[in-house]
Amino acid sequence: KLFSLSITDSRKIKHYGWENVFINRIRCRLNNQLYLSLSFKNKSSRLAVFNPQTENYTLLIKNKVIWTDLVISPDSTYALYAETKSETFNRELYLYDFKTKKSKKIFENHGWIGNIFWGKDGTSVFFNISKNRITIDELKSNYKKIKKKLEKQ
């Protein structure tokens, strides 16, 4: 659920809610709107923008699972986020254009991507990656190799 609270009168609390919608995270604020990560019954971590004046949300990114922060560029033109591939848990770094409402993949990693930041110039990006994970396919492949070596001994 989403709430707002007056800092001068804590009795003034407002609840915003939609049926069958779970708010995972408030990602950031831009131009008096909140960017939220929403989950539905069978879809998790979809990006939406919430307008407190109208009390409605609009889905921006509907077909990607976003677990990292949404990071807005210094000029508020673009956003960066990493999509987590649900079948492999690999992450891909995307650039979202607020004007065209389109995303473009700019980096792919067989592993984790996180701690995403914009450079001061607005054209460079900083982030961490890790390749310290193994997929089930890799485990199966390594198991077969190890088994063959043991059988030869």
Per-residue pLDDT of the chain (153 residues; tens, 9 = 90+): 788 888 999 898 988 877 788 887 777 777 788 888 777 776 766 778 888 888 888 888 777 777 666 788 888 889 888 887 766 677 888 999 989 989 899 998 877 788 888 988 888 999 888 865 555 555 555 555 565 656 665
The pTM (predicted TM-score) of the whole model is 0.68
Q: Within 13 A of 135's CA, how many CA atoms are on the CB side? A: 13
At residue 139, φ and ψ (nearest 5 deg) are -65, -45
Quote the tokens at residue 49: 């923008």
Distance CA 82, CA 69 (A): 8
94: number of Cβ within 10 Å? 20
